[in-house]
């Protein structure tokens, strides 16, 4: 699976959009980009995933660049409850379904 690079920490003001970047320059054509988050020692929570098109759900939007070498997770109106560690994971499908977590980005939403 491709390696990902994320900033270790970010701050965001409550009510503003949080934009979390992820670099995955060695991604292969059949690898998806997944985002999970972990709120203070709780189990990781699935947020969104995509292959090459931008995706949106009730939690967030995922923007993938045309060359697929990077992506951005957008939380449109961050709340204090969005304070968490956000993990960007790139994964193949035919080699098991396990997730390989890196260090993630610790997002602190401030009032």
Is 53 an interacting residue with respect to other proteins (CB under 8 A)?
no
Q: Are 104 and 85 in contact (CB under 8 A)?
A: yes
In the bound state with other proteins, the residue whose beta carbon lies nearer, of 24 and 91, is 91
In the bound state with other proteins, the residue whose beta carbon lies nearer, of 29 and 111, is 29
Q: Helix, strand, or coil here: 29?
A: coil
In the bound state with other proteins, the residue whose beta carbon lies nearer, of 89 and 109, is 89
Is 42 an interacting residue with respect to other proteins (CB under 8 A)?
yes
Least Cβ distance, residue 58 to other proteins (angstroms): 14
Main-chain phi, psi angles of 10, to 5 degrees = -150, 150
Is 46 an interacting residue with respect to other proteins (CB under 8 A)?
yes
Q: Are 79 and 109 in contact (CB under 8 A)?
A: yes
Q: Helix, strand, or coil here: 111?
A: coil
Least Cβ distance, residue 97 to other proteins (angstroms): 5
Least Cβ distance, residue 21 to other proteins (angstroms): 20
Least Cβ distance, residue 78 to other proteins (angstroms): 22
* Sheet-wide strand order for 70-75: 18-23, 70-75, 61-64, 55-56
């Amino acid at each position: 699976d491709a390696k990902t690079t994320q900033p270790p920490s970010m701050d965001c003001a409550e009510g503003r959009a949080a934009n979390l970047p992820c670099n995955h320059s060695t991604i292969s054509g059949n690898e998806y980009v997944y985002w999970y988050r972990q709120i203070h020692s709780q189990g990781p929570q699935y947020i969104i995933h995509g292959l090459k098109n931008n995706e949106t759900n009730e939690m967030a939007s995922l923007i993938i660049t045309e060359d697929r070498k990077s992506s951005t997770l957008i939380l449109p109106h961050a709340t204090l409850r969005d304070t968490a560690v956000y993990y960007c994971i790139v994964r193949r499908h035919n080699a098991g379904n396990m997730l390989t977590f890196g260090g993630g980005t610790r997002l602190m939403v401030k009032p």
